């Protein structure tokens, strides 16, 4: 075997660059760090209680189908728009209604009699 400065016995010269056992050790030994296993907190799913938006009365499965145009569920007592102060209530405009339906409101020329 060769006693070369860069052989496998000397870890390819690292022993000469970083000698062990000589000099002062400024490095403290590595302390084992205990890994604390933190349990993941599961968020509880919020159970959606189907209640009347106005009076908070619990609704049955059939009553849950009574949804308003505003998107809320109401009991039979509050299901109409006027009974729960719905934000989607459209004020009735006669002119728009006539234009939509095509009823009256037009100007006519007098028909000439023969």
- pLDDT tens, 89-98? 766 667 777 7
Residue 105: is its pLDDT beyond 60?
A: no
Nearest by Cα to 53 from 27, 73, 31: 73
pLDDT given at position 108:
67
Residue 70: is its pLDDT beyond 70?
A: yes
Sorting pLDDT into bands at 50, 70 and 90, what band is 111? confident
Residue 104: is its pLDDT beyond 70?
A: no
Residues contacting 79, CB < 8 A, separation 6+: 66, 68
Fold of the 49-87 domain: Zf-an1 domain (4.10.1110)
What is the pLDDT averaged over residues 33-50? 69
Q: How far apart are CA 37 and CA 29, in angstroms?
A: 24
pLDDT given at position 54:
87
H helix or E strand, kind and range, residue 17: helix 14-17
What is the pLDDT averaged over residues 101-109? 66
Q: Is the dihedral of CA 74, 76, 78, 80 positive or negative?
A: positive
Residue count of the chain = 114
């Amino acid at each position: 075997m060769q006693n070369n400065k860069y052989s496998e016995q000397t870890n390819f010269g690292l022993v000469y660059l970083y000698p062990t056992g000589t000099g002062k050790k400024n490095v403290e030994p590595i302390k084992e760090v205990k890994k604390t296993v933190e349990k993941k907190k599961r968020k509880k799913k919020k159970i959606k209680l189907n209640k009347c938006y106005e009076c908070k009365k619990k609704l049955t499965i059939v009553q849950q189908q009574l949804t308003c145009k505003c998107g809320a569920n109401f009991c039979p007592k509050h299901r109409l728009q006027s009974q729960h102060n719905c934000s989607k209530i459209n004020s009735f405009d006669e002119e728009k209604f006539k234009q939509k339906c095509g009823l009256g409101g037009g100007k006519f020329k007098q028909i000439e009699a023969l």
